[in-house]
Every structure is written in C-alpha cells, then in structure tokens.
Structure 1
Amino acid sequence: MRKDAITSLLAVVVLTVLLGVLYPLAVTGISQVTMKDRADGSVLHRDGRAVGSTLIGQDFRRPAKDPDGSARKDADGEPVLVADPRYFQSRPSVTGYKPNATAFSNRGPNGKDTKEAIDVNVAAYLALERPYDAGLTVARIPVDAVTDSASGVDPHISQANARIQARRVAKVRGLPLHRVLDAVDDHTAGRGLGVLGEPGVNVLELNLALDGLRGTAARAGGTSSSTTTTEGTR
C-alpha cells in the first residue's frame, strides 16, 4: 500500500510538472515567437491605449437622453441605450456585450419568445436604417442583424448587414458612400481556410478606421456603454 501511495504521488508530481508547467511554458514560448499578436489576444491599440480585441464584439450604443438632457432610465433604473448612428452596430447580444459572461439566449427556434425577440430587433433595425434606405423591407434584413450570436460578443457582422448600415454611417458622418463601402471591404475577413463559413466584417476595426477618415462630419465624442469602444480612445 505504501508503494502504491508513493507511485501515485510521484505520478501526480511528474504529470503536474509536465502538463501544468513545462507544456504551458512551451506552448506560450512558441506562440510568442510565431504568432505574438494572436497569442496576446489580438488587442487593438489607439494612441498607445488598448481599445479592444479583434476577437471580441463591442457595444456601439449610447445612453438615451430625455428632453431635459438627463439620462433616460428603464423600469429597473438602468440607463436606456440607443444605437449611435455614427457607428456600425454589432449583432444583438443577450449579455450586453460583456466578454466575461458570454452566452446565448437558449430560446428554441420555434418558440413564441423567439419570435417576439426577433420582432423587437426587426422593428429597431428598421427604425434605425430605413430613414437612410427608404426601400428597406423586412425581407431584406440579414439574419445576423436581428438574431443573437452564440457568444453574445461576435466581432463580425455579415457583408449584407454592413452594406445596409453603410448608408446611415455615410450620411451621418458626411462621407461619400463609396468611401464607407471601401472601408467595409477593407475590413472584411474571408472564409476560414477559403471554404469554411461566410465572409464577415469586423465591426470594431471598421469603426476605428472610420474615425480616422478625414472629412468626418460627426466625430465620436459621446459616452458609450462600453469602456473600450472607439469613443473611449479620445
């Protein structure tokens, strides 16, 4: 029995050193040499400050204001957030885009609550985009624009979604539409390995690029619900 106990203890020590120390150090060292940016979280910097990661979606809404200028609150006393028209909007999120609590709604595809949630998102999307695209109909709305992502922090939106939003962003910022569409194309990632999934537009990268364009009529300067959005870089 003593021999078995010693053998078990040695196995625990050896495996702990190998798998808990040496292996992580080896993987970390190799990744730091071969893919440092990705190993460090694909963090984006602006003016020397980290403003987010290309892997994590952010919230580009801003607090709604009452006529007297005070922040509007909901029934629970929380600030009411509305889409900032200067920015491309990320996919809807049930977690409020919090990366430390990624989750999806867990609603069934045929459930009544699913339909109600999508109807709310559709109405909000039309209210935001139709003033800049009079021909926008429900049938034209991309699925990703009104449904939650699996993580709640998907950094990408579809090209179709981005092209619809481009009309609003160009108008509000006073930019030619073709410049905004060019920026969309510049920040579109292709299919994985050339065949997997669909092309996606990185929202944070795109919004950062737009803030850097000359001739922007409305520069970001308000308060966002996210501490690391482009607005937080100023």
Structure 2
Amino acid sequence: MKLNFRTLGEGEPLIIMHGVFGSSDNWQTLGKVFAEKFKVYLVDLRNHGNSPHSDEFDYTLMVSDVIELMEDEGLSKAHILGHSMGGKVAMHLATQHAEKVDKLVVVDIAPKYYPPHHQQIFDGFHSVDLDNLENRKDADDQMAKVISNMGVRQFILKNLDRKKDGSFDWKLNVDAIEKSIEKVGEGIEGDVSFNGTSLFVAGGKSDYITDADHDLIREHFPKAIVATVKDAGHWVHAEKPKELGEMVMEFLG
C-alpha cells in the first residue's frame, strides 16, 4: 500500500509512526525539531490519516507498507520512531528487517500483549451522526454524551474531515480498526530480537511500560535503553514535547 507521508528537513532519514486513531499530524511539532538534523518522514499508517483504507489491518501488513515506502524513497536504512501502535510497528520492523533499521525509538509501549481497551473511543466515533452534522461543534456536543474528557474528544475529532460538498466523514477506517482491535494489542512473539541500538521511552504517569516490562524489552532488544519522561502520560509527545525531543535528539546523535 502506498502510504501518505510528508517530509521535513534534510539529513539521515527518520521515519515517525503514530498510534492507533492518530495521524502524522500528531508529530508535526516534534517533526520540525527533528528536521533540524534529519530528513523526517511523517507517515500516516494504513486506515489512518490520508492513507488508503483496507479491510485488512495487522502488523505484518503495516510493516510491509513501511518497507514499500522505504523502497519507493530509495532508503536502504533509516532511524525508526514509533508511538504506541506505531511503536509496535517499529518493533516488528526492527526484529524482521534489522538491516533496514539504524536506531530504534519506541515511545510508551512494550513488546507485550495489551487487551483491547478502546471501547470508549469507538463509542465516541459511533455517537456522531455524520449524515446530519452542520459543524464540528455539533460533533463535539454529540460525543460529549459518551466522552466527558475534552482532550480525548479533541483527539478523536482531529479525524473528522469536511468534504468539498460540505458533508462530514472520518478520515480513518473506523470499522476496519474496530474489527481488528485485538490484533493491535498483539505482542512480539517468538525468539526474535533486534541487536541494534534502541531507546524505549515511558511516560512517568502512564502504565503502558512498567518496571516489570524491562526484562521483556531487553529479551527482544538486548541493547535497549529504557528512559522515563516524568509527569507525562501515554501521549508523551503531546504532553512533554520539549523533554521527549531533547531525549530523542541526544539518543540519535
């Protein structure tokens, strides 16, 4: 699949992948920071952002999509950064195609299985009557009946797209993602590893990476550095962009 992406800056390539329900826009602020030294590829994974939709949705396919992008761009190797689901894509890519990965950065996700925990998000999507929307405020008002947290609603509503004819639709493929949400939680299985340099960044207020996960991380990524950004939740890049940016830039050198 030909993924939608945009590039910033010049230098060694750095491919950045967002989490589930996200898009390349989520990393635009930090992408500009990284672009001071690297050629940054901000990618929309399949069924997200402006990339094509498909009923098929799993890590094998998402890895092959990124490999296709690298081949199309003539990239024999790149630094790879992924957050949450994008971090899982990055881990699978590194363990399956180590020769294509320079340094690996994984933000707030471990190589373990996570049970589905996104039902409230799906309820938010389904609460919006797309056929009878007049504006974004209508969508927010409807969603507020099932999601009280304004930040979560704003995150979801970034996916709301107004077409040329004035009608609304979701940019992402809600049905395909919901159908495959169990696969999104899959871990790194089997005796596979990436022996290159890697950085795993945990949010200090997040429970996605716990102290108990460090051994599993190093089982698959023996040279991993595990660091924490204090006072950050799961969306480390949105909550503490300066701290994360400095940490990543120092690691990538």
Same fold per TM (> 0.5)? no
Q: Whose Rg is larger? A: 1
Q: Which has the higher strand share?
A: 2
Q: Which has the higher helix share?
A: 1
Structure scoring higher RCO (CA < 8 A, sep ≥ 6) equals 1
